[in-house]
Structure 1
Amino acid sequence: MRLLHTADWHLGRLFHNLSLLDDQRHVLQQLLEIIDREQVDAVLVAGDIYDRSVPPAAAVTLLDEILVELCEQRGLPVVMISGNHDGAERLGFGARHLRQAGLHILTDLATCDQPVTLTIGDDTVDIFGIPYADPEYVRSEFGVDVRDFDGAHRYLLERIEAQRQPGRPTLLMSHCFVDGGTASDSERPLTLGGAESVAWEPMQSFDYVALGHLHGPQVRGGEHIRYSGSLLKYSFSEATQRKGVTLVEVGSEGVTQIAHHPLLPRRDVRVLEGELAQLLAQGAADPHADDYLLVRLTDRHAILDPMGKLRAVYPNVLHLEKPGMLEAKGRQQLGRERLAFSALDMFSDFFTQTSGEPMSDAQARAMGELITTLSREQGGQA
């Protein structure tokens, strides 16, 4: 039996106020191609299907299109759990009726100990799903004294363990932050104060654990306990990550093979660093100039409209940083004399760029006197 593990689709997400829906459709089409090429028998989606609890209509339409392709066109079972970005009640609407179509939506913690049993050919597996489990909800729902995410997760795992069938391969799906995992800037914290992690040791006995929440593909505690990662790079902190899906082969003896299959985005997310002139020359010949970019300028002088100049060759520059200016001026708290000098220096650069020639000595003296006067006036007001 071949199972495809994916997670963190975040359909409807905005990246620096730019819709990623077409980019998501592009990689989901690749997901379908992998399913066809690798003859996948079932799909596991480990939470954060949507980016927010009330998703935009276009995101709902895209999910419907993909599920039609999977369940109706290909006749594949799909098992999905809700994540912390999803609205569990909305995602789970009609779940009991949709089981007949092969779509299993697991959003209710009260039924996490009831497995989805898949039989394909001679192989049968049980799949248990733990949706995003807030400890307060677990404490209220089950009347147990759990105070953190780890305690809530351990309690739910105990309920599942009591229902496992000896000798039958058992898979677990969970949307959580496993202790020691590597996070990205695009992941919404589960809680404040760092008490959101859960231990991997209680999950060790499962044949495979399909995790969601962390966006970078990674394993925790063993090769069979892993995050598939998100479909796309959703922050510049993920620029070096290799996005994809995980293919898992399961037989009567358990998991026999695990493989990562990459997804290639319509536009990559990259970080470029260098002086403006260098980047402009590079962009003129860059075959991937349409990528989503964070640019760090190392120029040590003021530049007029650097974003406009960059977007002339790199149209999707989404964020601009100027570490060169900070380094040139120093990171320490500037005194008023140094501040006055810096202001004059910056105006001098501005004057040169706009007029095409440097200030004369008389102009520089006049501007210096004006800046000094303004600085004194501000000091008196303070």
Structure 2
Amino acid sequence: MRILHTSDWHIGRQFHNQSLLADQAEVLEQLIERVETDGVDVVLISGDVYDRSVPPADAVALLNRTLRRLCQDLEVPVILISGNHDSAERLGFAADLMQASGLHILSRLDTVTEPVVIDKNGLEVAFYGIPYCTPEGVRAAFDETVKTFDEAHTALVERITEAWQPGQRRVLLSHCFVSGGDVSESERPLSVGGADTVGWRPMKDFDYVALGHLHAPQRAGADHIRYAGSLLKYSFSEVNHHKGVTLVDLNGDEPPAIQHRALAPKRDMRILEGAFADILAQGEQDERPDDYLLVRLTDKKAILDTLSQLRAVYPNVLHLEKPGLDVDRDARLHSREQLKRTESELFADFFEQAQGEAMTDEQREALQSIIQAVHQDEESNQA
């Protein structure tokens, strides 16, 4: 049986006020093509399908089109769980009715011991799902005296393992933060102070564990316990991530064969660092000028209308940093000296920056006359 593991789609996400819906539609189309060309038998989505609990209408429409293509057109079953960004109740609406179409939504804690069982050429695989949960949620659903995320998650895993049936391979979907995982800035913390982490060892006896929440593709404690990572790069801390999906082949009693398959976004996310003039020159030759960019300028002097000039060659500059203008002790001393300068000296600096040339003697004399006239008017008004 060939399984495609994906997670953290975050449909409807905005990044620096830029909608990513078109980018998500593009990469989901690639996912559908991979399901078809790679002969995938079942698709797993390990939570955070939407970016927020009440998603916008166009995000719902995109998810609907994607699931229809997978379940109806390709007749590939989809199993998904809710994540911390999703509303479990909204995502799980009419879940029982959708099972007949091949869509299995596991968003309720009280059904964690009820697997979705799929048979492929005599290989029977039981898929269990643990949606995002809190210790409070587990205490409310079961008679469990759990206080931490780890205790709550372990209690659910133990309930599942006690319900195992002989003769089946077992796969677990879980949306959680396994301790030691590589985090990024775009993941919403589950709690404060690191108390949200769970251990990987209780899950080690599953044949494969399909995790969601962390956005970097990675193993978590054991080779068969994996995060597929997010569908796209969702922060500049993820620029070095290799986004994609995970293919898992289960054959008989053999260990799973696991492969990462890359997805190519319509626009990549990059960080450009250097002098302003160099970055402008680079933009003229750049093969991907439409990528989402963080530009970090190393120039020591202020530059007028920086962002507009950059966007003339890189239209999707989303964030601009100027570390070269950060003042150290010497620079702060220099700034205090600057405050002691006269109006004419300050304006002369501005004129040279704006016009690209120094003021002439005639211009300086005219400026001095204007400044004197202004001071005289102020004195008259105060008299």
Give TM-score scaled by structure 1 length.
0.90
- Aligned mates of 2:222, 2:43 — CA distance in 1: 22
Letter in 1 for 2:289: A
- Aligned mates of 1:87, 1:347 — CA distance in 2: 57
CA separation of 1:90/1:254 partners in 2, compared to 1, >3 Å: closer, same or farther? Answer: farther
Number of residue pairs the alignment of both structures matches: 364
Letter in 1 for 2:23: D
Question: Does 1:339 find its partner at 2:350?
Answer: no
CA separation of 1:333/1:286 partners in 2, compared to 1, >3 Å: closer, same or farther? Answer: closer
1:156: how far off?
0.5
- Aligned mates of 1:338, 1:233 — CA distance in 2: 39
1:182-234 Cα distance to aligned partner (Å, 9 max, x none): 11111100011211100011111111000000011000111110100011000
- Aligned mates of 1:169, 1:226 — CA distance in 2: 17
Letter in 2 for 1:268: D
- Whichever of the two has the greater Rg, that structure is 2
CA separation of 1:281/1:170 partners in 2, compared to 1, >3 Å: closer, same or farther? Answer: same
Letter in 2 for 1:18: Q
- Aligned mates of 1:360, 1:143 — CA distance in 2: 85
Question: Does 1:174 find its partner at 2:171?
Answer: no
1:122: how far off?
1.5
- Aligned mates of 2:330, 2:53 — CA distance in 1: 43
1:252: how far off?
2.4
Letter in 2 for 1:287: E
CA separation of 1:123/1:349 partners in 2, compared to 1, >3 Å: closer, same or farther? Answer: farther
Contact 1:174 1:211 in 2 (8 A): yes
CA separation of 1:254/1:84 partners in 2, compared to 1, >3 Å: closer, same or farther? Answer: farther
Partner of 2:246: 246
Q: How does 1:101-112 map to 2 (within 5 A)?
A: 101-112=101-112
SS at the partner of 2:202?
A: helix
- Aligned mates of 1:50, 1:105 — CA distance in 2: 14
1:98: how far off?
0.5
Contact 2:296 2:321 in 1 (8 A): yes
1:347: how far off?
6.5
Deviates more, 1:144-153 or 1:84-93: 144-153
Contact 1:303 1:350 in 2 (8 A): no
- Aligned mates of 2:21, 2:116 — CA distance in 1: 30
- Aligned mates of 1:332, 1:167 — CA distance in 2: 73
Q: Percent identity?
A: 55
Letter in 1 for 2:213: H
Unaligned runs of 5+ in 2: 372-383
CA separation of 1:349/1:69 partners in 2, compared to 1, >3 Å: closer, same or farther? Answer: farther
Q: How does 1:1-382 map to 2 (within 5 A)?
A: 1-326=1-326, 329-330=327-328, 334=332, 338-341=335-338, 349-358=349-358
1:4-33 Cα distance to aligned partner (Å, 9 max, x none): 000000000001111111100100010011
1:65: how far off?
0.4
1:349: how far off?
5.0
**RMSD (Å), alpha carbons:** 2.2
Give TM-score scaled by structure 2 length.
0.90
- Aligned mates of 1:41, 1:224 — CA distance in 2: 19
1:334: how far off?
3.5
